[in-house]
Amino acid sequence: MERLLSVVVSVYNEEEVLERFYRETSRVLEGIGWDYEIIFVNDGSADASPAILKRLARQDGRVKVVSFSRNFGHEAAMIAGIDHSSGDGIVCMDADLQHPPECIPDMIRCFEEGFQVISMVRTKNESAGWFKNLASKAFYKLINVLSDVRFEDGASDFFGISRKVASVLKENYRERIRFLRGYVQNIGFKRTSIEYEAGARAGGHSKYSIRKLFRLSVNTIVCFSDLPLKLGIYAGLLAGLMGAVVLVYTLFTRQGAPGGYATIVVLLCFMFAVLFLLVGIIGEYIAVLFTELKDRPIYIVEETENLDR
Ligand code: UDP
Ligand code: MG
């Protein structure tokens, strides 16, 4: 029996590129020697994307659609696609053709060699602009310092996983706030990576605002590192040490009536700044705890096409 490949695609207002994505990807998939299904996850699109997906699903039974009741975000969309997939191998990619479908045959070869995790490493990102590229570099530096978990710089949401890895993700990684890429890179199993160049978007504009990216970065740090929580200990030690030095100094020099108004104000501001920052950091962790505790669904499916689940 032929093996099955599931291609998972998250879609949020991608009317400009969907047709082209479907055409180019299908053309590549015809030649891989595996059966295939393309699972589009419609992440609450407000444009013509749902209608286009419906039409594609009617024309081609290998096109499957999972539609969310609202926008739940890219991460939730990928998880939903993986949940609904039934392939022996699963490839996650974006709808905007920044993840070239031409790479899929190479990924298939890796699956056939027995690799369970194939991470696609971006060597270049044309469309992101210098700010996003710089911010992304800085983020990876920071998270690698903060966390024991290793994050590959340039690893993207373009990756391949085996059925086995998918079931581990499905069973055990159900956090509300998550960073799929981080799990995929650190789940173990026999893994390999393939390099690719991210071209420009095929059409439309990026759906990730700077704000969304910032939120994602903060969440990732909170999820993968508890070091920020311990900053308080270091700040406390440092403040205590400074206090002791000043105490000894004052005792030995026997200073009389203090001048030093500026010193006091500066110290006070500095101390409060550190204190508030630490409270804010603790707040971030509590917010994550709170979200997890509420145990709301990661995504809500409104309807599906060509899927009988
Ligand atoms: N996306 C999504 N939900 C969102 C934002 C984005 O499903 O809330 C999808 C989007 O349709 C695309 C992929 O995630 O297929 C990557 O988004 P985009 O290309 O805008 O990000 P960039 O490549 O600019 O980082
Ligand atoms: Mg993109």
CATH code (residue 193): 3.90.550.10
Looking at the structure, do residues 245 and 276 belong to the same domain, yes or no? yes
The number of distinct structural domains making up the chain is 2
CA of residue 59 to ligand 2 center, whole Å = 26
Looking at the structure, do residues 197 and 269 belong to the same domain, yes or no? no
pLDDT reported for residue 280: 92
Please check whether residue 68 is in contact with residue 300, taking contact to mean a CB–CB distance below 8 angstroms: yes
For 17, the token pair is 């590129």
Q: Which ligand is nearest to the Cα of residue 94, counting in written order?
A: 1
Domain membership of residue 189 as a residue range: 4-224+297-305
Residues 139-187 have pLDDT tens digits of: 888 888 888 877 877 777 889 999 999 999 888 888 788 788 778 877 8
CA of residue 258 to ligand 1 center, whole Å = 60
Of the pLDDT bands very low, low, confident and very high (cuts 50, 70, 90), residue 126 is: low
The residue nearest atom 17 of ligand 1, judged by CA position, is 207
Looking at the structure, do residues 202 and 244 belong to the same domain, yes or no? no
Of the pLDDT bands very low, low, confident and very high (cuts 50, 70, 90), residue 1 is: low
Looking at the structure, do residues 202 and 245 belong to the same domain, yes or no? no
CA of residue 240 to ligand 1 center, whole Å = 47
Looking at the structure, do residues 232 and 219 belong to the same domain, yes or no? no
Nearest-angstrom CA–CA distance, 94 and 9: 6
Residues with CB under 6 A from ligand 1: 10-12, 14, 43, 71, 73-74, 77, 94-96, 98, 206-208
Looking at the structure, do residues 218 and 241 belong to the same domain, yes or no? no
The residue nearest atom 8 of ligand 1, judged by CA position, is 73
CA of residue 1 to ligand 2 center, whole Å = 35
pLDDT reported for residue 250: 81
Looking at the structure, do residues 30 and 125 belong to the same domain, yes or no? yes
Looking at the structure, do residues 143 and 275 belong to the same domain, yes or no? no
- pTM for this predicted structure: 0.79
Looking at the structure, do residues 237 and 158 belong to the same domain, yes or no? no
CA-nearest of 86, 22, 94, 93 to 53 is 22
Looking at the structure, do residues 211 and 231 belong to the same domain, yes or no? no
For 162, the token pair is 């085996």
Looking at the structure, do residues 102 and 231 belong to the same domain, yes or no? no
Looking at the structure, do residues 151 and 48 belong to the same domain, yes or no? yes
Mean pLDDT of all residues in the chain?
86
